[in-house]
Chains A and B, each alone.
Chain A
Amino acid sequence: MATNPGKLLQSSRRDFLKGTAAVATILIAPGIFLYKTGQAAAGLEREARWGMLIDTNALSEADVDACVSACQREHGWQTAEGSRTDAQWVRKLRLEEPETGHQKFLPMMCQHCESPPCVDVCPTGASFKRADGIVLVDRHTCIGCRYCMMACPYKARSFIHENLKDQLPVAPRGKGTVESCTMCVHRVDRDGADAVPACAEAVNRNDSKAILFGNLNDPQSEISRRLRELGGTRLRADMGLNPGVRYQGL
C-alpha cells in the first residue's frame, strides 16, 4: 500500500483541504462568520467515477447469499421469505442455461448508471447522481411516489411500507421513501479509492477480488486495468445507460 504514491498524494490532499477549511473560517462573534469556507469540499472526489466489477465465475451461490446478508447487516434491512414488497437493496439472481442446466449466480443491485432513468423521472429531485457517479435517493426530499422504481430497468429499488425502528446510524431509512444500494457510500466517503463495500468484503478472501470496487475514471486503478485486460459486461448495454457496475463471466 505504501508503494502507491498516487494514494499517498491523494490522502494528503484531502487532509490539506480539511485543514485549510478549518483555518479559513473567521469567527467575528459566536455564530457569526465573516468568512467561512464549507468543509464540504473535502467530502467527495469529484473527478472520480466509482464502479464495481463483479466476477461471476468466482461467485458461488453461497457467496451471493453472503453478499446479501452482509448488506443487510451493514444497512439494517431485512426481506421476509417470499415477500414481494420488502426492502431489497441487493438480491440473488440465478441464471440457468436450459440446455445444459449450467447455473450461475450473481448479485443484482443498483447499477449506478451514468444516465440513470430513476433520476430522469423523479419529480422532486430526490433521486440524484452524486458528482462521483453514485446514484442515491435523498430521503429528505423523496415523496414516495415510486416513479423511480417503475423506471429502473434493473428493478433495483424498493419502497418502505411500514414504520421502522432501530435503524443504524450510517443508514437512515424510513416509511414512505424509496431506497436502493448506495455502493456503501459511507465507506466510500471515509476511505475513497480504498473503500471496500460490505458485499465485496463478504466475498473477497485471500486477495481474490470477486467484487472489485474502484475508480473507472482512473486508468491506473485496478478496476480499469482489469476491464481493459479482461473486459466486462454492462447489463442491458442496449439501453445505453452505461452502468457503473460491470460483470465478468456472463
Chain B
Amino acid sequence: MPMLKSKLRFAMLVCVLGLLPGAPGAAEQARSQFGNIAIPDPAKPLSADKCVEPVEIMRRDHMEFLLHQRDETVIDGERGSKYSLVGCMNCHNPAGADGKVVRYEDPQHFCAECHAYASVRIDCFECHADRGLLQSQQGRLDMHAPAWKASAAVPPTSTLQRRLGTVDGD
C-alpha cells in the first residue's frame, strides 16, 4: 500500500507538472519523457465552479481525504462531508437525464483515466457506486449534496457527451 501510494504521488506530481493550465511546454516535455503514452486529461466537473480543494491538492491528497472521511461517515455518521465519494461522483461523473453514465471499467471514467495511467488499481468501485446520484434520487437522498453545490443544476446529457468527446464541440 505505501508503495502504491508513493507511485500514485509520483504520477500525480507528473500530472501536476504536466497539466497546469498555461504550461503547454511542460506537457510536451512529460509526454516525450514517457514515450508515446498520452498523459490523462480527465473531464472537468460539470456542475460546480470549483473542486472542494485546489486542483493541486486534490491530485496529491484525494486518497487521504477519502480515507479519513470514510471512517467519519461509517462510524460517526457524518454524511455532509465535503470529501464524500458520492459528492465526487455527483460532480465528476454525473448520471445523464436518461440514467446513462460512464462506468469505472470505461477508460473515460474520471478516476480510471489517471489510475490506469499510473497503474494503480483501486477497489472503491467494487462496492461503491461509480456514478453520481440519479436525478430521480437527488431530491430524496439530498444528504449527500454538499452545500456549495446545492443550487447547481445537473447539466444536460449533451454537455456530458461533449465533455467525453462522444459528440463534437468546443
One of A37-45, A64-72, A102-110, A219-227 contacting the partner? A37-45
- Determine how close the nearest CB of chain A comes to the CB of B74; give it in whole angstroms: 5
- Encoded as 1 (CB less than 8 Å from any A CB) or 0, chain B from 46 to 75 comes to 000000011011000100000000111111
Asked whether A169 lies within 8 Å of B54 as measured between CB atoms, the reply is: no
Of B70, B80, B127, which one neighbours A173 at CB under 8 angstroms? B127
Going nearest first, the 6 A-B pairs with the smallest beta carbon separation are A174-B127, A43-B78, A44-B77, A43-B77, A190-B143, A40-B76
Asked whether A174 lies within 8 Å of B137 as measured between CB atoms, the reply is: no
Q: How far is the CA of A105 from the CA of B128 in the complex (A)?
A: 34
Q: How far is the CA of A188 from the CA of B56 in the complex (A)?
A: 35
Report the number of A-B residue pairs with Cβ-Cβ less than 8 Å.
Answer: 87
Of A43, A163, A167, A168, which one neighbours B76 at CB under 8 angstroms? A43
CB of A47 closer than 8 Å to a CB of B: no
CB of B98 closer than 8 Å to a CB of A: no
Asked whether B78 lies within 8 Å of A168 as measured between CB atoms, the reply is: no
Binding site for B on A (CB under 8 A): 18, 30-31, 38-44, 128, 130-132, 136, 138-140, 163-164, 166-170, 172-175, 177, 185-186, 188-190
Binding site for A on B (CB under 8 A): 53-54, 56-57, 61, 70-81, 86, 89, 126-129, 131-133, 137, 141, 143-144
A-B contacts, 24 listed (Cβ < 8 Å): A30-B54, A31-B53, A31-B57, A39-B81, A40-B72, A40-B78, A40-B81, A43-B72, A43-B73, A43-B77, A43-B80, A44-B77, A130-B76, A131-B76, A132-B77, A138-B74, A138-B75, A163-B126, A166-B129, A167-B129, A169-B128, A185-B77, A188-B77, A189-B79
Q: How far is the CA of A185 from the CA of B74 in the complex (A)?
A: 9
Asked whether B75 lies within 8 Å of A128 as measured between CB atoms, the reply is: yes
- Determine how close the nearest CB of chain B comes to the CB of A174; give it in whole angstroms: 3
Asked whether A136 lies within 8 Å of B74 as measured between CB atoms, the reply is: yes
Q: How far is the CA of A55 from the CA of B93 in the complex (A)?
A: 43
Complex contacts, B74 vs chain A, CB 8 Å: 136, 138, 140
Asked whether A170 lies within 8 Å of B80 as measured between CB atoms, the reply is: no
Asked whether A169 lies within 8 Å of B141 as measured between CB atoms, the reply is: yes
Of A38, A131, A136, A139, which one neighbours B127 at CB under 8 angstroms? A139
- Determine how close the nearest CB of chain A comes to the CB of B105; give it in whole angstroms: 10
Nearest-neighbor residue (CB-CB) of B70 within chain A? A140
Complex contacts, A163 vs chain B, CB 8 Å: 126
Complex contacts, B80 vs chain A, CB 8 Å: 18, 39, 42-43
Complex contacts, A38 vs chain B, CB 8 Å: 72, 78
Q: How far is the CA of A186 from the CA of B80 in the complex (A)?
A: 11
Asked whether B81 lies within 8 Å of A189 as measured between CB atoms, the reply is: no
Asked whether B143 lies within 8 Å of A186 as measured between CB atoms, the reply is: yes
Nearest-neighbor residue (CB-CB) of B61 within chain A? A31
Complex contacts, B77 vs chain A, CB 8 Å: 43-44, 130, 132, 185, 188-189
Complex contacts, B78 vs chain A, CB 8 Å: 38-40, 42-44, 189
Q: How far is the CA of A38 from the CA of B79 in the complex (A)?
A: 12
Q: How far is the CA of A138 from the CA of B74 in the complex (A)?
A: 7
Asked whether B76 lies within 8 Å of A169 as measured between CB atoms, the reply is: no
Complex contacts, A170 vs chain B, CB 8 Å: 86, 141, 144
Complex contacts, A172 vs chain B, CB 8 Å: 127-129
